[in-house]
């Protein structure tokens, strides 16, 4: 199980490579829908990049992130959330 | 039988593209400044189901001829695809010992991601959706379907056969 610092470093490197520009990353431990330990990784995007990112870029990010984490011995599944810098979640 | 009914039977019963279109429309907020959380939740759910139905239909098409789509046997194969076994297979495909290529791996990673988000969107009262995340997950669902269709035929067939006929565990 990797430390948060290492997870963030890997996520940042993957996001930079696959999404071109990301403003930052954050990670926390969570539980997935199966009840297994998982990671919630938030990738913060710049306003321009969130408009230009294609679906295939997202797929690459998901796959690369999981592979890199696995290579370092991290088996928790990364659940990735994207947000644009300064964006607030939508509440009813 | 009327030609309209015959035509309808040749088409997909649940069209994945229509689900993706619906998801996109929901993110637009129907005249409001911002979509409601419920709109985004339904959009995420529709994006997952677009991928799910694309796979269910590919699985049914792989064992039942196209001219038998209006039959009970087609429906039975289609409905045999369930979320849990799909998740288990995708976990294997994205796992350390996977021998699938990048197209199917990326597709499987997207399925797991979409399934997790769909669970949050449909059941978690604390989940607060974001517009940008929802839009990107819809684009990812679109690409996941294309990527599966464009994957090497041998890998696609192997994936679908593992989904329909999972290996038996040793007793």
Instruction: Count the neighbouring beta carbons within 10 Å of the beta carbon of residue B96.
Output: 9
d(CA B84, CA B28): 31
Residue B66 pLDDT class (50, 70, 90 cuts): confident
Pairing between β-strand A24-31 and β-strand A37-45 as defined by DSSP bridges: antiparallel
Nearest CA in chain A to B114: A79
Secondary structure (3-state) at A73: coil
The CATH code of the domain that includes A24 is: 3.30.70.1350
Domain hosting A52: range is 4-84
Of the residues B54, B130, B144, the best mutation for testing chain A's interface (the one with the most A CB atoms within 10 Å of its CB) is B130
- Give first-to-last CA distance, chain B, whole Å: 50
| Residue A36: other Cβ atoms inside 10 A | 12
Chain A residues in contact with B96 by the CB 8 A cut-off are 70
Rg (chain B; Cα; Å)? 17
Q: What is the pLDDT of residue A92?
A: 73
Instruction: For chain A, say whether B34 makes contact (Cβ under 8 Å).
Output: yes
C-alpha angle B52/B100/B154, rounded to 5°?
A: 80
Answer whether A79 sits within 8 Å of B140, measured CB to CB: no
Cβ B41 vs Cβ B127: under 8 Å? yes
CB A83 within 8 A of CB A42: yes
Task: Determine the pLDDT at residue B10.
Answer: 57
pTM: 0.92
Cβ-contact B163, B148 below 8 angstroms: no
Q: Is the pLDDT of residue B151 over 90?
A: yes
Q: Is A45 domain-assigned?
A: yes
Q: Quickly count: other Cβ atoms within 10 Å of residue B88's Cβ.
A: 15
Question: Which tens digits make up the pLDDT trace of A60-91?
Answer: 999 999 999 999 999 999 999 999 998 988 88
CA distance between the termini of chain A? 37
Nearest-CB residue to A91 (from B128, B132, B147): B128
Which of A33, A59, A66 is facing B115, going by the closest CB pair? Answer: A33
Give A84's contacts in chain B (Cβ within 8 Å): 130, 132
Inter-chain CB proximity B115 and A80 less than 8 Å:
no
> Edge-to-edge strands of the sheet including A37-45?
A24-31, A37-45, A77-84
Closest CA–CA distance from residue B59 to any residue of chain A (Å): 22
B147–A92 C-beta distance less than 8 A: no
A20-47 mean pLDDT: 92
Task: Give contacts of B98 with chain A, Cβ < 8 Å.
Answer: none
Asked if B133's CB is within 8 angstroms of A90's CB, the reply is no
Number of independent structural domains in chain A = 1
Q: Check pLDDT > 70 for residue B92.
A: yes
Mean of pLDDT values over B45-63:
97
Categorize the per-residue pLDDT at B8 as very low, low, confident or very high, splitting at 50, 70 and 90.
very low
B150 has pLDDT over 60:
yes
Tell me which residue in A59, A79, A89 faces B116 most closely, judged by beta carbons.
Answer: A79
Average pLDDT of the segment spanning A34-43: 96
Please report the pLDDT score of residue B3 as a whole number: 54
Q: Domain-by-domain residue ranges, chain B? A: 3-164
Contacts of B136 in chain A (CB under 8 A): 50, 53, 55, 58, 82
Task: Give tens-digit pLDDT for B118-138.
Answer: 999 999 999 999 999 999 999
ipTM, interface predicted TM-score of the complex = 0.94
């Amino acid at each position: 199980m990797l430390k948060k610092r290492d997870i963030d470093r890997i996520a940042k490197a993957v996001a930079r490579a696959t999404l071109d520009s990301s403003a930052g990353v954050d990670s926390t431990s969570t539980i997935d829908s199966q009840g297994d330990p998982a990671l919630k990784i938030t990738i913060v995007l710049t306003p321009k990049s969130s408009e230009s990112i294609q679906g295939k870029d997202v797929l690459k990010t998901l796959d690369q992130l999981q592979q890199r984490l696995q290579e370092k011995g991290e088996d928790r599944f990364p659940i990735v959330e994207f947000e644009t810098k300064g964006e607030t979640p939508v509440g009813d | 039988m009327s030609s309209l009914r015959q035509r309808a039977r040749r088409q997909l019963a649940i069209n994945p593209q229509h689900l993706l279109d619906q998801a996109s429309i929901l993110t637009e907020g129907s005249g409001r400044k911002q979509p409601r959380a419920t709109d985004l939740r339904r959009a995420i759910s529709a994006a997952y189901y677009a991928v799910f139905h694309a796979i269910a239909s590919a699985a049914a098409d792989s064992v039942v001829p196209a001219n038998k789509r209006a039959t009970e046997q087609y429906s039975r194969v289609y409905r045999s695809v369930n979320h849990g076994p799909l998740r288990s297979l995708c976990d294997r495909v994205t796992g350390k010992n996977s021998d699938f290529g990048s197209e199917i791996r990326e597709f499987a990673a997207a399925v797991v991601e979409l399934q997790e988000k769909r669970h949050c969107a449909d059941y978690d009262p604390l989940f607060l959706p974001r517009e940008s995340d929802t839009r990107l997950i819809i684009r990812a669902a679109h690409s996941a379907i294309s990527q599966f269709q464009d994957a090497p035929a041998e890998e696609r067939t192997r994936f679908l056969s593992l989904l329909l006929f999972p290996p038996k565990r040793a007793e």
